């Protein structure tokens, strides 16, 4: 029996001996033409499949650790790589100058002075915040949603902030379940919250409860037992996960104690996401309110490293104070009216405006009201920013939420009217470097619409969200071995001598 090889050889032999060359050339030409036609027809599909492959490749790269749902395992894989990358960078560029410091900068609250490394987000003056490189609209598109939901789940944002990777739905579900598992409060914290006087501001209660939670700190315990510094991040991670899990319970307890006659927050449902459980514990069952919470808790999470709350946690953490102590310190900063408390201030100001001028206000009357605020030496809350120079994208996405869900709400209409008027007045006054609205100009109005009218409470919600950013960074700060933060301060006399100025 002839072998296959022989058959092939026979065929080739037959082909070259039986078919004349001209005929072969003609056949080859027709064959080539056919191939070209087929390629032309298939081209879009080939292109599509190539671009699909490219997209799949990108998604695969982004989800490099998609095979595991355990965040700590993903971190354990990422940390040594990042440590090496930064070590090499410092070796090569450690002595390179990146800016100059002027006397104005020192007196001006260190504006524009590059002095911190903060990995989780970066703020562009014109474009606004980017979480690990992704803008808010990109996050809204990319991050997993709850079944039937449209807003991103904060769990996904946390995963992104910690790893720099867009998580899969399974990874986000893992985070939800992990936080549900870790949510229980120790009894001394519950007792303390139950005993606070009702005139203690919700933010003070929030910060005090977080400080008291440090009885649970595995970081503090490990440190006291002499753990090696290479393991710090693991305990910072455990504390951060526990703390984030417990914050909605603390926040809901404060809310119920102050505004719902101390009624129970109920139990955590491990099948629900973090925001859904939080809404339930607060006593809000409207699905749209839960969606608002998901958006709210995502967008308030992080705003690079120099803002008061992020910088405070960074600073306090650098003394190796545990995540509870570092975060409660941050919350005391967030409670300031120029920072997080501005969302309360906006509502106080809007309510006073409504009371004085009534429901429907003419543009002219509104202008006068804004001018009166300025002339009385106060700021217009919700407007201006230390870094931003355009409308805050966090304002824009809340405005879009309002346009979708509450377009006819009178309070929203007032906020929209102010958006047309305040910037012009601030420009006319010529002091504020940024006349545009920030995140706080919008959030309270959305909360009011769903029945949460207790404006003193709003900054607590901000605080719950802010934990996601600053604690993600805290884990990295310990992983990267950031040292004690200790900038050099100077007296005015010392500064004058330094620059050669004559005193007086
Ligand atoms: C956010 C804020 C604290 C930034 O401060 P900043 O970096 O010092 O801002 P600027 O450099 O633009 O300030 C320059 C001047 O404009 C004033 N200014 C800034 N924003 C203003 C506002 N919304 N209303 C009135 N005046 C304002 C400042 O008070 C300052 O006045 P001064 O020279 O008399 O001290 C400031 O814009 C502000 O107070 N806004 C209102 C509070 C608020 O919404 N905070 C939340 C921020 S997310």
In the chain, the number of structural domains is: 2
Q: Are 233 and 355 in the same domain?
A: no
Mean pLDDT of 466-488: 98
Q: 215-230 pLDDT, tens per residue?
A: 999 999 999 999 999 9
Q: Is the CB of 383 under 6 A from ligand 1?
A: yes
| Average pLDDT of the chain, as a whole number | 89
DSSP 3-state of 437: strand
Q: Are 238 and 274 in the same domain?
A: yes
Q: Is the CB of 239 under 6 A from ligand 1?
A: no
- Segments forming the whole domain that contains residue 304: 176-338+460-479
Asked if the model's pLDDT at residue 140 lies above 60, the reply is yes
* Of 129-133, 168-172, 357-361, 415-419, minimum mean pLDDT range: 357-361
Q: Is the CB of 379 under 6 A from ligand 1?
A: yes
Asked if the model's pLDDT at residue 7 lies above 60, the reply is no
Q: Are 254 and 328 in the same domain?
A: yes
* Of 19-23, 322-326, 387-391, 416-420, minimum mean pLDDT range: 19-23
Catalytic residue list contains 405: no
In a domain, 489, yes or no: no
Residue linked to tokens 């395992």:
73
Q: Are 423 and 350 in the same domain?
A: yes
Q: Are 307 and 368 in the same domain?
A: no
pTM reported for the whole predicted model: 0.87
- Which protein residue has the closest C-alpha to ligand 1 atom 31? 431
- Which protein residue has the closest C-alpha to ligand 1 atom 14? 432
Burial-class residue 123 by CB neighbours within 10 Å (0-12, 13-18, 19+). buried
Q: Can you give the three-state secondary structure of 240-264, one letter per residue?
A: HHHHHHHHHHHHHHHHHHHHCCCCC
Q: Are 413 and 328 in the same domain?
A: no
Q: Are 204 and 227 in the same domain?
A: yes
Q: Are 410 and 429 in the same domain?
A: yes
Q: Can you give the three-state secondary structure of 43-76, one letter per residue?
A: HHHHHHHHHHHHHHHHHHHHCCCCCCCCHHHHHH
* DSSP conformation letters of 121-139: EEEETTTEEEETTEEHHHH
CATH number of domain containing 251:
1.10.580.10
* DSSP-assigned beta bridge partners for residue 383: 437
Q: Are 251 and 359 in the same domain?
A: no
Q: 349-383 pLDDT, tens per residue?
A: 999 999 999 888 999 999 999 999 999 999 999 99
Q: Are 470 and 412 in the same domain?
A: no
β-pairing, 121-124 vs 128-131, is antiparallel
Q: What local confidence, expressed as pLDDT, does residue 468 receive? A: 98
Q: What local confidence, expressed as pLDDT, does residue 65 receive? A: 67
Band of residue 460 on the pLDDT scale cut at 50, 70, 90: very high
Tokens of 353: 């405006």
Q: Are 257 and 383 in the same domain?
A: no
- Which protein residue has the closest C-alpha to ligand 1 atom 28? 432
Query: In whole angstroms, what separates CA 329 from the centre of its chain?
Result: 19
Q: Is the CB of 128 under 6 A from ligand 1?
A: no
Catalytic residue list contains 303: no
Q: Is the CB of 151 under 6 A from ligand 1?
A: no
* DSSP-assigned beta bridge partners for residue 129: 123
* DSSP conformation letters of 337-354: TTTTTHHHHHHHHHHHHH
Asked if the model's pLDDT at residue 49 lies above 60, the reply is no
Mean pLDDT of 430-434: 98
Contacts of 65 (CB under 8 A, 6+ apart): 73, 74, 77, 78, 163, 165
| Catalytic residue chosen out of the listed positions 242, 385, 392, 442 | 385
In a domain, 501, yes or no: no
**Cα 455 to Cα 74: distance, rounded to the nearest angstrom:** 39
**Cα 136 to Cα 319: distance, rounded to the nearest angstrom:** 32
Q: 62-89 pLDDT, tens per residue?
A: 455 678 999 999 999 999 999 999 999 9
- Which region, left, alpha or beta, applies to residue 110 given φ > 0 means left and ψ of -120 to 50 means alpha? left
Query: In whole angstroms, what separates CA 308 from the centre of its chain?
Result: 15
């Amino acid at each position: 029996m002839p072998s296959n090889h022989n058959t092939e050889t026979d065929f080739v032999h037959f082909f070259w001996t039986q078919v004349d060359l001209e005929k072969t050339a003609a056949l080859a030409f027709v064959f080539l033409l056919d191939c070209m036609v087929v390629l032309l027809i298939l081209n879009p599909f080939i292109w599509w499949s190539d671009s699909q492959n490219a997209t799949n490749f990108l998604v695969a790269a982004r989800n490099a650790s998609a095979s595991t749902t355990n965040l700590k395992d993903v971190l354990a894989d990422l940390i040594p790589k990042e440590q090496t990358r930064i070590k090499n960078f410092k070796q090569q560029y450690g002595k390179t100058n990146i800016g100059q410091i002027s006397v104005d900068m020192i007196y001006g609250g260190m504006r524009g002075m590059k002095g911190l490394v903060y990995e989780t987000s970066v703020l562009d003056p014109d474009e606004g915040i980017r979480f690990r490189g992704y803008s808010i609209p990109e996050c809204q598109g990319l991050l997993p949603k709850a079944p039937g939901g449209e807003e991103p789940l904060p769990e996904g944002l946390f995963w992104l902030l910690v790893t720099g990777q867009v998580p899969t739905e399974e990874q986000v579900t893992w985070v939800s379940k992990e936080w549900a598992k870790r949510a229980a409060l120790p009894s001394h914290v519950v007792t303390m919250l139950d005993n606070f006087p009702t005139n203690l501001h919700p933010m003070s209660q929030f910060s005090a409860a977080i400080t008291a939670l440090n009885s649970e700190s595995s970081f503090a315990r490990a440190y006291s037992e002499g753990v090696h510094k290479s393991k710090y991040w693991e305990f910072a991670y455990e504390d951060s996960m526990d703390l984030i899990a417990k914050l909605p319970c603390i926040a809901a307890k404060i809310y119920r104690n102050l505004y719902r006659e101390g009624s129970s927050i109920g139990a955590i449902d491990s099948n629900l996401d973090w925001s859904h459980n939080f809404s339930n514990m607060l006593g809000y069952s409207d699905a749209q309110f839960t969606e608002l919470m998901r958006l709210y808790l995502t967008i308030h999470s992080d705003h690079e490293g120099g803002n008061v709350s992020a910088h405070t946690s960074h600073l306090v953490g650098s003394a190796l104070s545990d995540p509870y102590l570092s975060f409660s310190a941050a919350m005391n900063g967030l409670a300031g009216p120029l920072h997080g408390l501005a969302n309360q201030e906006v509502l106080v100001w809007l309510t006073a405006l409504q009371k004085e001028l009534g429901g429907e206000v003419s543009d002219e009357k509104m202008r006068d009201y804004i001018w009166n605020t300025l002339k009385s030496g106060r700021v217009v809350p919700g407007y201006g920013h230390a870094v931003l120079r355009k409308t805050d994208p966090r304002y824009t996405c809340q405005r879009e939420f309002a346009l979708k869900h509450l377009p006819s709400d009178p309070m929203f209409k007032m906020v929209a009217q102010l958006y047309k008027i305040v910037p012009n007045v601030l420009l006319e006054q010529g002091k504020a470097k940024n006349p545009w609205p920030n995140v706080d100009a919008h959030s309270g109005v959305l909360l009011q619409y769903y029945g949460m009218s207790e404006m003193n409470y709003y900054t607590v919600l901000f605080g719950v969200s802010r934990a996601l950013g600053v604690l993600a960074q805290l884990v990295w700060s310990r992983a990267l071995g950031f040292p004690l933060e200790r900038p050099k301060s100077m007296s005015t006399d010392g500064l004058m001598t330094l620059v050669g100025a004559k005193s007086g």
